[in-house]
Structure 1
């Protein structure tokens, strides 16, 4: 019987994944990652599922690495003037980087997670593809996976809808945490959601500066450029006028430039560059015509990707897109297949 290490969170997805893997004939080992100090509820729920299904259960203390590689990166990125994607980094370094190592240490044959994504094999390579449930699809976050890693991974939920997974949990009376997980899991304090900017205020010193229109008129003050992302409306509080949208940030002069029209050309771009790239498929030939998603849940749009030098590429969009944001991930698709991705740098 093949052994498989399953990442368990205590939520409905990983709980049902454990059941499905058992039914497929795997000997399942459950691993709960202690990422933050408030792990007790999740670990308790995951342990209950393991006990119900007769699964060996292993809590893993990864909090220090999670803090260094994900939480500190999140804050440091804002200090550097970019908008980070902590979930992409966590999947690369923690959920797969660490758990694949643990899989080897435990002598398991495969690693499984509760991600909504599919693996499809052809005669040449392994393809990472969108999930059947498009609303829950998480392929955007997994573009850093490699062919060698995909050989070792199983995604049991990719062919199901969230509704079907909940029904399976109910039918089998699986214990699980009822609340949905947060997009940024560490923006929680004792179970309560911490507002994004409040979290940053606690980790980055305020640095007030001027808010100006593109024609140079000063119309207000900001408390720190790290609060703003291109295209953002929330938080630009200028009494008596507005609304305003963040168009650009001048970090050298500490000026936030804004526009009033949400469709102002200053908010749009038709090309950008990416670095820190990973291409899942070796058969890609450049320049490649494909589609790109420039943020999670963004509708993928037509583009051409051209290489510049090692690891750096230029992306040319068929039509201008709004709020192309440095630090976010650009993920490339051919139909439902993930080609790869990288970090937007301009």
Structure 2
């Protein structure tokens, strides 16, 4: 069997190459060049080449920078301009890695596509589904909610049943040269962000623009340094006159460069509307576990589908729910699908 492995140049995907090769797969390593951080590319492509040479596997670089800019990067910038909080990884996965990446794999005659994601593929009622990784502290199934079924049917996740803490140790024992791979320090998981998302926005927009902070009743109670600096739930970086009580960003008004803040209790929401991205129209509503952001604790919600939208009535309140993030449905540990949050109240 022939498999295309998306390689990042790090230990995880390098270890995946070893695992797949040892399991008898014919492996072709693919490095997807997505952003314009050329220093990163140079370091990680060199790493991939070193791994490929050691394991005697083919390796190719696929330049998708133009497509990535249009589909992911530009959406990232425009979303913050609109006062939303985008989820670029959840956009990139179906369009780039398991979209154009899978297309390239098929052109090369590969039966499967593999990545170092911490997730699993499980079969439920005869249908393959994305499922949570065994190591739930590293689980990335949330970011994979929008993958089409034709991609899921071809995916291999070699690390899904392993623990992160064991992988590096084992990988370095089996492949000692991995310890010599170069790394590039990153503070966030977003590949094109090095320090802060604000640094990216500053390249395109005027983000430092002092504005008014209002309370839930519309009263001006403070100032902030520009609405794009804030996301829903943030509690720092703005001033509230004469108050020592914690305040959190409750809403963002990009047109007036204003943020609305309130107490934590005022952040509570119990209903969510999301633009459906991957649930079938025939999906039967009911009570399911949902996540409203990557690190959030799953909550129970009554789910209904109406037209192009998913409506979730939460059975317990959620906090810090932002437009642009994903609403992802789970049945036990399997991902059923989800959508992009457009309203939370």
TM-aligned CA deviation for residue 62 of structure 1? 1.4
Matched, 1:70 2:72: yes
Matched, 1:12 2:11: yes
TM-aligned CA deviation for residue 233 of structure 1? 1.1
Question: What does residue 169 of structure 1 align with?
Answer: 171
Aligned length: 334
Question: What does residue 277 of structure 1 align with?
Answer: 277
Give secondary structure in 2 for the equivalent of 1:247: strand
Question: What does residue 284 of structure 2 align with?
Answer: 286
Matched, 1:246 2:246: no
- Correspondence for 1:87 among 75, 86, 89: 89
**Structure 2 CA distance for aligned equivalents of residues 8 and 199 of structure 1:** 25
From the superposition, tell whether residues 44 and 196 of structure 1 become closer, same or farther in structure 2 (CA, over 3 Å): same
Map 1:80-119 onto structure 2 (within 5 A): 80-119=82-121
Matched, 1:320 2:317: yes
TM-aligned CA deviation for residue 219 of structure 1? 2.8
TM-aligned CA deviation for residue 217 of structure 1? 3.2
**Residue deviations 1:146-194, cap 9 Å, x none?**
2221121111110111122112211122424456863111112xxxxx2
Question: What does residue 24 of structure 2 align with?
Answer: 25
Alpha-carbon contact 1:12-1:169 (below 8 Å) kept: yes
From the superposition, tell whether residues 64 and 129 of structure 1 become closer, same or farther in structure 2 (CA, over 3 Å): same
TM-aligned CA deviation for residue 138 of structure 1? 0.5
Q: Which moved more, 1:325-334 or 1:248-257?
A: 248-257
TM-score with structure 1 setting the length: 0.91
Alpha-carbon contact 2:327-2:341 (below 8 Å) kept: yes
Map 1:138-217 onto structure 2 (within 5 A): 138-172=140-174, 173-175=176-178, 176-177=181-182, 182-188=188-194, 194-206=195-207, 207-217=209-219
Could you list the runs of 5+ residues in structure 1 that have no partner in the other structure?
189-193
**Structure 1 CA distance for aligned equivalents of residues 306 and 183 of structure 2:** 47
From the superposition, tell whether residues 103 and 70 of structure 1 become closer, same or farther in structure 2 (CA, over 3 Å): same
Give secondary structure in 2 for the equivalent of 1:118: strand
TM-aligned CA deviation for residue 252 of structure 1? 4.2
Alpha-carbon contact 2:5-2:28 (below 8 Å) kept: yes
TM-aligned CA deviation for residue 127 of structure 1? 2.2
Question: What does residue 191 of structure 1 align with?
Answer: none
**Residue deviations 1:277-309, cap 9 Å, x none?**
202xx6974222110000001111101111111
TM-aligned CA deviation for residue 103 of structure 1? 0.7
Map 1:225-240 onto structure 2 (within 5 A): 225-238=227-240
TM-score with structure 2 setting the length: 0.91
